[in-house]
Amino acid sequence: MTAPRVVCVGGSDAGIAAALGVRELEPAQVVKVFDLAVARTGLRDREAAAAGFGPVTVASTADDHKQYYPGAHQLEMRVTGDRVTGRLLGFQLVGHKDASVAKRVDIAAAALFADLAVDQLNDVDLSYTPPLGSPWDAVQVAAQTWVGRQGRDDQQSSAQ
């Protein structure tokens, strides 16, 4: 929890948050490193496994906006979800500092807060205009890649 949120909740202790009826917030972090922005929210694969989940992490790549519009930047993303329930557990991404990385990690943080499954990210109506995005946002492309990978893994498991 970040310092401003600790003040709002009344302390970083989960017991205090529960007593106040406030849910613990998923930490979302973004940092600028030269011309890149690096962000994460939720759990990484190892952390999810340590917490008792059956994590599956899938990497994907998408552009921050339509390629035909000048200045598109590639985003590298990793989605971690639970193998059994499909629940979103974590999201990491890196891209150019002008590629709205902070917006995208915030989308994932909101999805984590709402306990969405990875495939439910595709149902979120996100804004779109060619200079700033795509009909399927990069976050949704990453979710679709995760879901597609799960389908292939399920088919391989049942064939064995």
CA distance 91 to 43: 7
- The correct CATH number of 27-159 out of 1.10.10.60, 3.40.30.10, 3.50.50.60, 1.10.150.120 is 3.50.50.60
Look up the pTM and report it: 0.82
Better-scored residue on pLDDT, 158 or 21: 21
pLDDT band at 160 (very low <50, low <70, confident <90, very high): very low
CA distances for 18 relative to 24, 31, 110, angstroms: 8, 30, 19
Return the pLDDT at 138: 97
Tens digits of per-residue pLDDT, 27-66?
899 999 999 999 999 999 999 999 999 999 999 999 999 9
